């Protein structure tokens, strides 16, 4: 069974749900506490043993490339002022030469098309996918859990989490073949935003995947679907007819930072995890909660 060495991270989207902030900066560079979203996603990948990170980019995404490179003027200024801790923090974000690649998605044709754009860089080996607007708080990281499970069962894998039954019509939902209460669940299918009374489970698809390279041939022939875009889920449904799929119920907590409320919640959740911030942040939350009118 081949090791999962590569990850594809699609970063070509416009971030329309968090406009106007993303008019001038990539949504992947929105900060959560003191790090951009993309930093959390890359850290999770490195923890999982990923060796090569592939970004599928678009126009005006140069800030992402710069973030993972040296900033010589800044580093020199920090060194001259003796700000060693900040200097080390900045330098720690520089990825090893040759461990990161970039390819362009010239047209906004959907997630499936973005993944297909990375086909030559991935080659013929299994690979991971992380959606950068979803960050997951927990140890071990979600992708580490998935890679560990993959080493035992192989096939294809999707990260899932429980959602309230009343909300299943807002998500992609998996159909379990095995025990839906287990951490690793064999799948029989996927349903996009099913009616509440017809959903096969309450396990929603989160933004982490491990896929076999045969997905690229299916993506090349996948017709445009929802939103007139090439959908990854459509290609995965085709792959499921010939290969096994598993759902990994991860132990962490996901935050959809592609929405304004999700981004705000993520800042609070990750801020409360920081020892130097937690007490003052809790005090502030208590203060403003007490002032809020009853609803």
Q: pLDDT tens for residues 74-96?
A: 999 999 999 999 999 999 999 88
Which residues have CB under 8 Å from 221's CB, separation 6+? none
Q: What is the pLDDT of residue 295?
A: 47
Q: What is the pLDDT of residue 234?
A: 87
Query: pLDDT below 50 — which residues of the chain?
Result: 295
| Cα–Cα dist 133/265, whole Å | 13
| Cα–Cα dist 141/194, whole Å | 29
Q: What is the pLDDT of residue 32?
A: 95
Q: What is the pLDDT of residue 292?
A: 56
Q: What is the pLDDT of residue 61?
A: 87
Can you tell me which residue has the tokens 């990260």? 159
Query: For the chain, which residues make up each domain, given as ranges?
Result: 6-291
Q: Which fold has domain 6-291?
A: Spore Coat Polysaccharide Biosynthesis Protein SpsA; Chain A (3.90.550)
Tell how many helices (H) and how many strands (E) occur in the chain.
11, 13
| Structure tokens that stand for 144 in this block | 């580490």
């Amino acid at each position: 069974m081949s090791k999962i060495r590569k990850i594809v991270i699609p970063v070509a989207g416009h971030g329309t749900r968090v406009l106007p902030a993303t008019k001038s900066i990539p949504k992947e560079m929105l900060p959560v506490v003191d790090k951009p979203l993309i930093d959390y996603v890359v850290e999770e990948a490195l923890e999982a043993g990923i060796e090569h990170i592939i970004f599928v980019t678009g126009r005006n995404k140069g800030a992402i490339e710069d973030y993972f490179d040296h900033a010589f003027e800044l580093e020199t200024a920090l060194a001259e002022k003796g700000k060693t801790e900040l200097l080390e923090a900045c330098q720690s974000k520089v990825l090893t030469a040759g461990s990161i690649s970039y390819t362009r998605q010239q047209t906004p044709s959907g997630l499936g098309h973005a993944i297909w754009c990375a086909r030559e860089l991935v080659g013929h080996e299994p690979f991971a996918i992380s959606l950068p607007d979803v960050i997951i708080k927990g140890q071990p990281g979600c992708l580490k859990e998935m890679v560990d499970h993959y080493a035992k069962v192989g096939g294809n894998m999707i990260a899932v989490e429980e959602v309230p039954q009343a909300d299943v019509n807002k998500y992609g939902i998996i159909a379990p073949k095995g025990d839906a209460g287990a951490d690793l669940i064999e799948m029989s299918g996927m349903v996009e935003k099913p009616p509440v009374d017809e959903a096969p489970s309450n396990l929603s698809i989160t933004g982490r995947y491990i896929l076999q390279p045969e997905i690229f041939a299916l993506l090349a022939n996948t017709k445009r679907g929802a939103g007139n875009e090439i959908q990854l889920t459509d290609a995965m449904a085709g792959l499921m007819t010939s290969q096994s799929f598993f759902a990994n119920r991860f132990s962490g907590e996901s935050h959809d930072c592609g929405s304004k409320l999700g981004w705000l919640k993520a800042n609070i959740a990750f801020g409360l995890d920081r020892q130097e911030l937690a007490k003052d942040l809790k005090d502030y939350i208590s203060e403003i909660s007490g002032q809020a009118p009853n609803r």
